[in-house]
Amino acid sequence: MPNFQPNPEIIRSQKQDLFEGPDFYQIDDLLTEEHVLIRNTVRDWVKKEVSPIIEDCCQRNIFPNHIIKGMADVGAFGPQLSVEYGCGGLDYISYGLIMQEIERGDSGMRSTASVQGSLVMYPIHKFGSEAQKHKYLPKLAKGELMGCFGLTEPDHGSNPGGMVTNFKDAGDHVILNGAKMWISNSPFADIAVVWAKDEKGVVHGLIVERGMEGFTTPETHNKWSLRASATGELVFDNVKVPKENILPNVTGLKGPLTCLNSARYGISWGAIGAAMDCYDSARRYAKERHQFGRPIGGFQLQQKKLAEMLTEITKAQLVCWRLGNLMDQGKATPAQISLAKRNNVDMALHIAREARQIHGGMGITGEYPIMRHMMNLESVITYEGTHDIHLLILGMEITGENAFM
Amino acid sequence: MKILVCISNVPDTTTKVSFTDNNTKFNTAGVQYIINPYDELALTRALELTEKNGGEVTVINVGLVDTEANIRKALAIGANDAIRINANPEDGYFVAEQIAAAVKSEGYDVIFTGRESIDYNSGIVGGLLAEILNLPLINVVSKLEIEGGIVTADRDIDGGKETVKVATPCVISAQKELTEPRIPNMRGIMAARTKPLKVVEPSGSNALSNISAFEMPKPKGDCKYIDAANAGHLIDLLHNEAKVI
């Protein structure tokens, strides 16, 4: 169970978060009253609980575990899953808006929520037994249990099918061996949803619990990105996993890839959040900063940057709104999700770089959120399917030709 | 304990204010509305009191259907039920009359308003309501406790505070320090879907005032720097130009 006490080491900034979300095409009119309430609620929560501490947490590489309970309260953990198991029962637009607002605060915070909701709760919800669902989901939704997702391995990232982590039948349990890498939440997670091959080479999902003998989670240090999020490895050295911890309702790579679709959908919204924060900060800075006797926002080159940022954010908002509706109707395809994730993260990273230039030297300091978002997005653009892999997914969709290998 | 909280729907504090129709109407295009912040504090304190002592909190709003988004937010924050009086809130008197007519026989122990709404800032609804309902009023309250039917409240007065005790029922208007506003949680938002929101039609009374014109304040002038050695010039400017000394 995570420690909900505020970490006395974390310094709270007195600076007020003045963020105003751009809505140039009145996309709020496409949302329901409840969507707007959810979005504004999470925005208010981020302003109160995330913005004042996030810069210090990033600078000093501290995961603020005391905000897990707040995250759970605002519905960040599996809001789109069913009420029956203690989850939110909300739609995918709501889920997207929650991810957008949390990533407006910080991509690392959104990563924590994405992993918990889409990569841990979602597979248990979709592929788990009734006993597994009742045992884990209500506690995961409340943040009383935290989870992580083990798919990527040291030598198998874009090619998860090549994984070597495996398990052998040993009567009422299996023996799990292998290692997973680049795992968000691993250093503090209570459980891990791990994908591993059986003796026939078929991929299965297993729920591995902290405390099982031979299971360790060493932390990854010295990251330049997602510094407020905890990343680590999962190491399995002859771990005895009871057979009742195997997810019964899926085999093959379809299992982890289905989870990734859900998470990638959330990331495509999250990236808008990071982009909006950079844009909003740049917009305000351009009006306040004077050079040559006038605000720099009065110069054409700065206006071009701001105009293009707003254009790209507006396009991304429309893509996500439509994709959310397709998700709710059960019609969204993996390729459609790839398009949104690829486009929106790239757009956000580009906006972060342009916003950095508008801020000049101030943009590289912790006084403004720009460089933090930029460094975070350098991870986001390659995790959950790299920018290039999403292009190949789209390429295959268009041509029918597999260009992965 | 039955508590009523009067909430009004006001433009967000970041709204860029402008007017239409020859400066006679507030331009609502693109304006986001929020629960009046003082009313939100009143609601939060009402919830804290009922969580501690038991009881129910009702919110009431005089407004047209588009105010329901914020009424729903009040329910998500934790109010038990809501009443919307289906009328445009023409002026403070009209609002007080409507609320009084709707609740006079409901037996609320405490009726909260904000000290003022942040749009028209007349700050009179609480006082009028108390008068119409023949109840005591404590206004601009920054601290409030209720024990055994006795309200103990700190209210701001010139240069300090005074502590007032009054028996319920009474009307209280909320000041900034009353409590911290509460952010709804997802369970609250979900619960708000099914909480009762009763719509009642307005009763007969009319507004006593109407707005004939709006005017924007003059834009702020540039900051002038005066050399420290030239204090006389500063005094001259403050006296003759700024007219503050």
pLDDT reported for residue A2: 60
- CATH class, domain A254-399, is mainly alpha
Contacts of B186 in chain A (CB under 8 A): 38, 41, 73-75, 79, 88, 90
pLDDT of residue A9: 85
- pLDDT averaged over every residue in chain A: 96
Q: Is A78 on the interface with B (CB under 8 A)?
A: no
| B2-215: CATH superfamily | HUPs (3.40.50.620)
Instruction: Say whether pLDDT at A3 is over 80.
Output: no
Residues 202-231 of chain B with CB under 8 A from chain A are: none
Cβ–Cβ below 8 Å for B186 and A89:
no
| pLDDT for A8 | 82
pLDDT tens digits, one per residue of B180-223: 999 999 999 999 999 999 999 999 888 999 889 999 988 887 78
Secondary structure (3-state) at B144: strand
Q: Could you tell me if A296 and A283 are in contact, meaning their C-beta atoms sit under 8 angstroms apart?
A: no
Q: Where are the domains of chain B?
A: 2-215
pLDDT at residue B245, as a whole number:
85
In CATH, which of 3.40.50.720, 2.40.110.10, 3.30.230.30, 3.40.50.300 is domain A147-245?
2.40.110.10
> How confident is the model over A251-306, as pLDDT tens digits?
999 999 999 999 999 999 999 999 999 999 999 999 999 999 999 999 999 999 99
Task: For residue A24, give the chain B residue with the closest CA.
Answer: B30
Spatial distance between the Cα atoms of B127 and B228, rounded to a whole number of angstroms: 49
What is the pLDDT averaged over residues A5-32? 92
Q: Do B186 and A73 touch (CB under 8 A)?
A: yes
User: Which of B186, B197, B222 should one mutate to test binding to chain A, selecting the residue with the greatest count of A CBs within 10 A?
Assistant: B186
ipTM, two decimals, is 0.88
Q: What is the pLDDT of residue B68?
A: 96
Inter-chain residue contact A74 with B186, CB threshold 8 Å: yes
* Size of chain A in residues: 405
- What global pTM score does this model have? 0.92
The candidate with the shortest Cα–Cα distance to B188, out of B64, B49, B43, B63, is B43
**A302-326 in b/e burial notation, b at 16+ Cβ within 10 A?**
beebbeebbebbbebbebbbebbee
What pLDDT score was predicted for residue B30? 85
A49, closest residue in chain B (CA to CA): B183
- Exposure of A266 in the CB half-sphere (CA atoms within 13 A): 32
| pLDDT at residue A84, rounded to an integer | 95
For residue B224, the model assigns a pLDDT of 82
Query: Do A88 and B193 count as a contact with CB atoms less than 8 A apart?
Result: no
Give the pLDDT of residue A142.
97
The string of pLDDT tens digits covering residues B67-94 is 999 999 999 999 999 999 999 999 999 9
CA A259 to chain centre: 12
Q: Pick the catalytic residue: A101, A153, A312, A384? A: A384
Let me know if A378 is a catalytic residue: no
For B184, which of A33, A41, A48 is closest by C-beta distance?
Answer: A41
pLDDT tens column, A78-90: 999 999 999 999 9
Domain limits of chain A?
27-141, 147-245, 254-399
Amino acid B103: pLDDT: 93
Q: Classify domain A27-141 at the CATH class level.
A: mainly alpha
The answer to whether B28 faces chain A, any CB pair under 8 Å, is no
From chain A, the residues in CB contact with B16 under 8 A are none
Q: Is B147's pLDDT higher than 60?
A: yes
B186 touches chain A (CB under 8 A): yes
What are A355-381's pLDDT values in tens digits?
A: 999 999 999 999 999 999 999 999 999
A1: pLDDT strictly greater than 70: no
A254-399 has the same fold as A27-141 = no
- Residue range A135-190, pLDDT digits in tens: 999 999 999 999 999 999 999 999 999 999 999 999 999 999 999 999 999 999 99
The whole-number pLDDT of residue A116 equals: 97
Mean pLDDT computed over A193-203: 97
